[in-house]
Amino acid sequence: MNQNNEDGKYTAADQMVVAGSHQIRPDDVIYVGLGLPFLSTLLAKYTHAPDSTIIVENGIVRTTGFEMPRATDTPGAQFMSDQLTGLFYISSLGQAGHITTGFIGAGQIDRYGNVNDTCVGDYTRPVHRWAGSGGANDVMSFCQRSITMLRQSKRRFPEKVDFVTCPGYLDGIQGQREKAGMPPGTGPAMVITDLACYTFENGEMVVKSVHSSVGATLEKVKEEVGWDIKVAADLQDTIPPTDEEIRILRGEVDPKRIWVGGKRQPIRQD
Amino acid sequence: MSKVMTMKEAVSRFVQTGDTLFISGMQHGEPAAAIHEIVRQKIDHLTLVSVLVATANLLIGEGLVDRVLTGYINQDERSYAVAKAKAADRSPVYEEYSHFGISLVLMAGQMGIPFIPTRSEIGSDMPKYNKNITSIECPFTGEPIGAVRAVNPDVGIIHVQRCDANGNAQKWGTMGVDMEGINASKKIIVTTEKIVDVDVIRRDPNRTIIPGFRVSAVVEQPFGAHPMHLAGCYSGDMWGYYFDTGPKENYESYIKDLVYGVKDWNEYLKKKADIKPTGYFENFKIKPVESEPIISGY
C-alpha cells in the first residue's frame, strides 16, 4: 500500500501510533507491551493523557514519560519510576481489576479477537513459532479492555487462529469468557492495524475506521482479512495525525528513531 | 556463618545433573557469570524456570536443558543456540505458561501449597498442551477458575547488588519474578556485586529479599550480570550479546573463547575488554542518583 500520505509528512505506522494514542483515556492505567503500543502510550502521555499511569511487565509503574526502550526492561524505563516491583504484583493489579487498559502487539488475530502469539500449524509440529504469550495472555484475560496492534495481512487475520494464546471472545458466543473464569466486562475493545481500526460488536470484529489519510480503502482492508468482515454502520475515516502529534512523536517520544515504520531498528555492531 | 565461596565451588556443590533450576533476572541483573560456570562444568539434563532470561540461551545451545518452563522464549531456529540444540537432538521440551502463570507456579512453591488459582491462561489453548494448567470450581462459590501447579526449583540462582557473608541478600530495581522464584527454591546461590558488612544490611532490612538462613552459597562477582544491566551499578549490552551469540560463527567463537576458553568470570571480563573496542566497559558507567536514606533507630 501507499506507506506515505500525499505530502509525505507521516507514514501508515505513524497513523497506527496516533490512532492508538487516541484510544488512551486521560485517567487510564495502561499495561503496555513493547513496540508500537509503547509509542502510542507515550504519545498520549505527552499530549492528552498526562495523568495516565504506565505499567510494564517487569515491574515498572510510572506516571512520567521516559526514554523509549528497546526492550521491556531498561535502566531508562526503571529510572525515577513511581514504583518498582515485580511481575506478580503487576499482574495481580490486572487480575484484581485495577488496570483499565491493556495494550499489546500480536502475531495473528481472528474474527472473535482471539490472538495467536504461539504457532502457525499444529502445536506439536508448527510451521512457524512465535515466542509465546509473555504478558499478553494476562492482559487479554483480565485487563478491563484490551487494544491490539499489528500489521495487517490476510495471513495475520485468519477467520480462526491455529492456537489461542490470548482469549478474545472465543467462539463469539456471549458469556463464554465468564464461563471459563475470566472477569465480567473484559475483552478486546479495539484492533489497530496499518490499514484500519476495528471494534467488536456482539463479540465479532467489525471495521470501525479506515486509514484513508495514508491511502487505505475499505476494499483494501477487506482484501487483507481472512473472512467476510462486517463494517460498522457509522464507518469513518481514521482521524489523521496532526502536525503537533507528529512533531511530538519524532521529537519527544522516539527522538533516537528506535521504532521506524513499526519496526525496531538494529543497533550497529562494530 | 560465612557462606562465601568461589563461583566454581558454589556451582559444583549445589547444582547437579537433572536439577530444576530457577534463573532470576527477567532482563534485569541476570546471573550471567553463574550461567557461564554451569556451561563450563557441563551440568546437564536441567529443567529451567525462566522469564525473559537472555543469557540462558547458552545452556540451551550447549544441550544442557531437557525442559523449559516459560512464558516467552525464542524457539526460532534463526537463533543459533536453538538450531544447535536441535541439530544435536537436544531441543528442550517447552512447558508454556503466560508470564503471570510462571510467577504463580513459583508463588505457590514459595507458599508451600500444591497449586494456586488464577484467571489467566484458562481461555487459551495452553491447558491443552500443559497438564500443569487446569480449571477447577471455586470451593466456596462453585464458579470456574483456573489453577496452576506449584513448582519448587531444586536450585535458585540470583544476582544482587549487595549481600552479606551470611547470605542476607538485597536487590532493587525491577524484580521480575525474582522474589517468588528465589523464595520457592530449595537451595539458593546468591551472586553479588559486593559482599557488604552485615550492618549495611541491618540498617535497611526491608530491602532484604531472602534471609541468610535460606541461602547455601554467596559468591562475590563484580559485573556478574553483564551483559545485562543492574540498577544503580551499570547499564547493559543486551543487543550486543544477541549479536555475539546469535549467528553461528559468533556463537561458536563466544563459547570457545569466552566460556570454555577462560577459567572464571574475571578472566572473561578481561578477555572481553581486549576483544571489544577501547572503553567498552567504561560505557556502562551510570550517573548515580542517591535516594534519601531511610531512618531507623530507637
Instruction: Characterize the bridge pairing of strands A119-120 and B46-49.
Output: unpaired
The verdict on B138 and B210 lying in the same domain is no
How many structural domains does chain B have?
Answer: 2
Residues A181, B135: contact at Cβ < 8 Å? yes
**What whole-number distance in Å separates Cα of residue B291 and Cα of residue B38?**
36
Of B74, B125, B129, the CB nearest to A131: B74
Q: Within the 39-58 window of chain A, which residues sit less than 8 Å (CB to CB) from chain B? A: 57-58
**What whole-number distance in Å separates Cα of residue B177 and Cα of residue B79?**
25
CB contact under 8 A, B119 and A136: no
Split at pLDDT 50, 70, 90, the class of A4 is low
The verdict on B122 and B190 lying in the same domain is no
A57 is catalytic: yes
Give me the pLDDT at residue A270, please: 44
Which residues of chain B have a CB within 8 Å of the CB of A118?
96, 125
Calculate what percentage of chain B has a pLDDT beyond 90: 96
| Any A CB within 8 A of B180 CB | yes
CATH number at residue B265: 3.40.1080.10
The verdict on B17 and B139 lying in the same domain is no
The verdict on B163 and B53 lying in the same domain is yes
Spell out the residues 6+ positions from residue B249 whose beta carbon is closer than 8 angstroms to its own: none
Domains and CATH numbers, chain A: 12-258 (3.40.1080.10)
Of B96, B124, B243, the CB nearest to A166: B124
The verdict on B228 and B120 lying in the same domain is no
A184-229 pLDDT tens trace? 999 999 999 999 999 999 999 999 999 999 999 999 999 999 999 9
Q: Give the three cell numbers for residue B13.
A: 556443590
Calculate what percentage of chain A has a pLDDT beyond 70: 96
| CA dist A171 → A110, A112, A164, B123 (Å) | 10, 7, 11, 11
The verdict on B128 and B270 lying in the same domain is no
B67-121 pLDDT tens trace? 999 999 988 888 899 999 999 999 999 999 999 999 999 999 999 999 999 999 9
B104 inside domain: no
The verdict on B76 and B135 lying in the same domain is no
Split at pLDDT 50, 70, 90, the class of B172 is very high
A227-257 pLDDT tens trace? 999 999 999 999 999 999 999 999 999 999 8
Would you give the DSSP letter of residue A143?
S
> Which residue in chain B has the smallest CA separation from A135?
B99
Asked if residue A1 has pLDDT above 50, the reply is no
B183 inside domain: yes
CB contact under 8 A, A181 and B98: no
> Where do the DSSP E strands lie in B185-243?
187-195, 208-210, 217-220
The verdict on B129 and B81 lying in the same domain is no
CB contact under 8 A, B96 and A73: no
A183 CA to centre of own chain: 21
The verdict on B132 and B199 lying in the same domain is no
The verdict on B181 and B279 lying in the same domain is yes
Of A166-180, A207-221, A252-266, B34-48, give the lowest mean pLDDT range.
A252-266
Region at B24 (left for phi over 0; alpha for psi -120 to 50; beta for the rest): beta
| Any B CB within 8 A of A73 CB | yes
pTM value > 0.90: yes
Asked if residue B273 has pLDDT above 60, the reply is yes
Range of the domain at B242: 7-98+152-284
Q: Give the three cell numbers for residue B278.
A: 577501547
Q: Give the three cell numbers for residue A91.
A: 499482574
B292 inside domain: no
Instruction: Characterize the bridge pairing of strands B46-49 and B20-23.
Output: parallel
